[in-house]
Structure 1
């Protein structure tokens, strides 16, 4: 893949855009991930997994574009790889992989999408698909995004804009340390103070009608999984993917 664009979307997170250098399409389902292959300094092989951040309508043709969000970890081998990658440079990848996707036979009335850090990336890719489901079968969606500060709300402006144009979609930024200043771009009625699992009871999860997706920090995923089980959501209706920061 060839790097064609880079922009910072948080103080330590970059959004990277690649294109396949063979010109071929990359068919993928929103929620899937790719693996980046590289070598450590000692020559041993390494790989890192990154969710594909770009979504397409289900009937749209696949293309060779691949967007990912990358957390920069001090001293990390993958961080060094991406920081040194110039526009036009290439790297090797495989995929797509994964089943953290919306299922075509889902019959739920609401999706609860819960994510922290770059674990929010799959939901960005799902937006086109969610719009279709809201139109076709009236499903509702609640997205809870956990971050410490407003500056760390990855794609927050996009999620808020989507919520403003789709009445069935609500976006809840959950900030554990710092709330947005009054009048700022991130300040709105659905901002909450605390962790996503603490805000979850406000949405009154319904075992009969909800499907939950959990993605991000393993501690959050585990805590929210247990909370949803206690409420009564069947385990098959709680879909999980844990993100671990690798060096």
Structure 2
């Protein structure tokens, strides 16, 4: 898949959490974007002194095909106090343009996988690639009975990114379980699959198995490392533990 540079025009946005914004763009050169769910794009811009820089954002778009011209290219952006990228996105209004390139990355579902279950683990905006994977997961649940558990770690209910999308998907697909893990504050009326604590605490409940599981870990590096060690201890071979670490940069 060729890496290309292209302009993006903001067509819509909303706040997902107090410090996370969902942004929808259209390619402003009239071309499609061919990407595999789990991949990311890079946004290119300059620091105030003119030095070029870039930031990476996983694509959050739920799709089962290449995005045609004008179809929304969606990302989630965490706002970091004093961050250069934060300043860029906070000042961006609908209709304005930024420069991007991509797609990049191999944090994707593999066509050759023959597993019985996917364990998807995320914190923060690390959940965005899993949102993009939902159409493909629906296909795998229907075609070969795959089970999927999504463990998502956040501090409070206000930080439950894309919670409505994942809950709706779980309701429509019995093979999919959505398990939010709240480290500081539980919802006022908890769902039966809500958990208190960290995702690495909840992981053991699902008895990771070397026999039938493939795991994906995305988000905070400490979370990724802790779950990687737990999954290895459970016997999962390293190729069946796929990782992507998100580090906030200013």
TM range (shorter): over 0.9
Partner of 1:239: 242
Q: Paired residue for 1:62, among 67, 90, 105?
A: 67
CA-based RMSD of the aligned residues comes to 0.7
Partner of 1:151: 158
The superposition leaves residues 181-240 of structure 1 with CA deviations (integer Å, 9 ceiling, x where unpaired) of: 02xxxx210000010001000000111100000000000000000011111110000000
Give the deviation of 1:61 after TM superposition: 4.6
- Cα separation, 1, equivalents of 2:79 and 2:204: 33
Residue ranges of structure 2 left out of the alignment (5+ in a row): 1-7
Describe the SS at the equivalent of 1:212. strand
Structure 1 residue runs of 4+, over 2 Å off? none
Q: Paired residue for 1:199, among 202, 207, 215?
A: 202
Q: Paired residue for 1:89, among 83, 96, 111?
A: 96
Q: Paired residue for 2:107, among 100, 116, 125?
A: 100
Superposed counterparts of 1:1-247, under 5 Å: 1-57=8-64, 60-64=65-69, 65-182=72-189, 187-247=190-250
Please say if residues 219 and 244 of structure 2, whose CA atoms lie closer than 8 Å, have aligned partners that are also in contact: yes
TM-score, structure 2 length as denominator? 0.95
Give the deviation of 1:55 after TM superposition: 2.1
Describe the SS at the equivalent of 1:112. strand
Give the deviation of 1:157 after TM superposition: 1.2
TM-score, structure 1 length as denominator? 0.96
- Cα separation, 2, equivalents of 1:32 and 1:72: 21
Closer/same/farther in 2, CA of residues 104 and 52 from structure 1, 3 Å limit: same
